[in-house]
Amino acid sequence: MPIYEYHCKDCGKNFECLIIGNDTPKCSNCSSANAARLMSACGFLSKSGSGETVSVSAGASSCSGCSATSCAGCGH
């Protein structure tokens, strides 16, 4: 069951919501159903057969104000 990220168009807050079937997401701050789904950054680690980390991908940094293109580059 996927967890999606949303932006509430009424109060301006971003929130995550577990969606089952045709559920409608409701803002965790104001309970509004007026929300837009956000594009989420997908992160993963790729390991070699010896267990060494080969690559790290985050699509976009999840740190606010961070200019790194992956979380491996910023140290957070």
User: 10-32 in b/e burial notation, b at 16+ Cβ within 10 A?
Assistant: eeeeebebeeeeeeebbbeeeee
pTM over 0.85: no
Per-residue pLDDT tens for 10-67? 999 999 999 888 889 999 999 999 999 998 766 666 666 666 655 555 444 445 555 5
Please report, in angstroms and rounded to a whole number, the separation of the first and last CA atoms in the chain: 28
- Our CA angle for 6, 8, 13, nearest 5°, is 90
What residues does each domain of the chain span? 3-59
